[in-house]
A and B are shown apart, each in its own frame.
Chain A
Amino acid sequence: MSTAHPILEAREIALGYGNAGPLITDFGLALNAGEIVTILGPSGIGKSSLIRVLAGLQQPNTGHVAVDGQVIRNVHPRVAIAFQNPGLLPWLNLERNVAFGLSFARQLRLSSAERRARTDAAIRKVGLDHARHRLPAELSGGMAQRAALARCLARQPKALLLDEPFGALDEITRADMQSLLLSVVREFRTATVLVTHDIDEALLLSDRIVLIGGAPARELAQWRIDHPQPRHDRLAELGRIRIEIVQALHAAIVRHH
């Protein structure tokens, strides 16, 4: 529990597949507790690959990822990841899906009472108490994504990695999920990496926005956003940054082709 290290740190990451040359080079990132960093970039640039590397699901070609100052070679029990596809197990009800994995051998040892308490708290946090006995097939897209978020929360992660988590949701559900995410991060001070291609989402949620692009992709620019939350009625103030991001994104796409 030393505070000297960032919660999640990536250094000099390069990654690629096969002999096709690197997809991403020289990528670095350091996250502190309670910080939300958005990685923004055109699709196909390697954002999902990058977040898988941050999660330890995949090894980088060079460089390393560290959690709490410890270099990880594999997935870490205190790092949670969620995808656009909620990935609920269809044969388990919502409650069991949220509790899934808590009793695994490589997770933190918990008594069954602690597991139940964490599951209950996570379900309540995402507002699904009324649906806890439903099967995934009986949940709407937004509810399924909430359940996936609750499954991450039940593990009380130090770092939360989200790969376009709200991409498949309609505008209203999306806004709802965004404010839920903000309240979760504020309450648990989780270091959060959000991958998205939606500039407005990035502006609404992030403390920092990292734009990646080029071939091979690297960090092109970074913005720190100090506006207080909630920001949905301050979008006009964020207009200048928005224009900068759009211009940088276009420049990146032109360079890409």
Chain B
Amino acid sequence: MSEVIDGIAAQNDVSQRQPAERKLRRRSGAPLRFVHGLAGLGLIVLAWWIATDLLAAPDSLEARFAPQATFSSLFQLLSSSDLALHVAVSLKRILVGLVLALAIGVPVGLVVGLNKTVEAATSPAFQLLRMISPLSWMPIAVMVLGVGDYPIYFLLTFAAVWPILLNTAAGVRHLDPAWLTLSRSLCATPWENLIHVVIPGVVGHVLTGVRLAIGILWIVLVPCEMLGVSAGLGYMILDTRDRLAYSELMAMVIVIGLLGFLLDAAARALHSRWLPASSE
């Protein structure tokens, strides 16, 4: 995670000063990095195999989580339409959570960033709320909103809103004063200033917030879906456990990892598409 963020910072600073040099280094380093990455993944599978095949007794519970069985279940899962359905349900929940978090986080973040009094008044409250694991609201959410999608939307939104809100507010504080002077010198109304300078000026920061939010959403999603719903990846985990389908359970764990990896890659791509344009 920290390496990913360093990568973004580097894109912001270093690329401006020595684009050619950086591109060269990237290009020659990329295949090697890929090989290293594959080797690391291979090592994990090896450790997994050692733990479930070599160290565990052949008929033990552990042996049922072995890689061979898992991968054959994984292929079965991937070829069934069932999995696609559950994935679609989960992704829809992520999307709803993200959209709600944006709808709340961006406007509130703009107000917090623009107004020093509001910032002072809300900062401790937000820092406190942010540190409460969204999962601790689970029982309350179910009591108030019932079982079904609504408590999940609530919990996901609650988890995702903080990085978006706080990054938006930080974005407003980091607006280039030259832009604000420019819009004043052009006689902009407060509304024109907001629409033409402040909002486009914070997009980069909002996207950073979105990236962090997607990571959090994905982590919070699975336990949220263990809450009396009948579809989704978290539900699948409990379902495979209840059916004692251990290799399938393990396959689901891998699916969750893979999908999360792809989501994060997509969020990163979105982020870096905006950055080259916005870094002056």
Contact = CB atoms under 8 A, between A and B. Distances in A.
Contact of B189 (A55, A87, A105, A155): A105
B183 A101 contact: yes
A75 B196 CA distance: 18
A100 B186 contact: yes
B279 interface: yes
Interface string A54-73: 01010000000000000000
B181 to A, nearest CB: 7
A155 B187 CA distance: 12
A90 B188 contact: no
Contact of A89 (B185, B187, B197, B279): B197
Given A75-B187, A104-B189, A87 B181 contact: yes
A74 B280 CA distance: 30
B200 interface: yes
Interface in B201-251: 201, 203
Interface in A32-83: 55, 57, 74-77, 80-81, 83
Interface string A197-222: 00000000000000000000000000
B276 interface: yes
B277 A135 contact: yes
A85 interface: yes
B178 A87 contact: yes
Contacts of B182: 87, 89, 100-101
* Among B179, B278, B280, residue most surrounded by chain A Cβ atoms (within 10 Å): B280
Contact of A91 (B185, B192, B200): B200
Contacts of A80: 185
Contact of A57 (B179, B185, B280): B185
B280 A104 contact: no
A192 to B, nearest CB: 16
Contacts of B280: 88, 90, 136-137
Interface in A102-152: 104-107, 135-137
Contact of B188 (A87, A101, A155): A101
Contacts of A85: 178
Nearest to B176: A87
Nearest to A97: B182
A104 B178 contact: no
Query: For the complex, would chain A's binding face be called helix, strand, loop or mixed by DSSP majority?
Result: loop
B197 A81 contact: no
A57 B186 CA distance: 10
Residue of B187, B189, B196 with most partner-chain A CB within 10 A: B187
A76 B187 CA distance: 7
Given A137-B276, A137-B280, A89 B189 contact: no
B92 interface: no
A105 B186 CA distance: 10
B184 interface: yes
A107 B179 contact: no
B86 to A, nearest CB: 39
Given A91-B200, A91-B203, A91-B278, A105 B192 contact: yes
A137 B185 contact: no
Contacts of A57: 181, 184-185
Nearest to A85: B178
Interface in B161-183: 176, 178-179, 181-183
Contacts of A75: 184-187
Contact of B279 (A90, A104, A105): A90
6 contacts: A80-B185, A90-B277, A91-B277, A104-B186, A105-B192, A155-B186
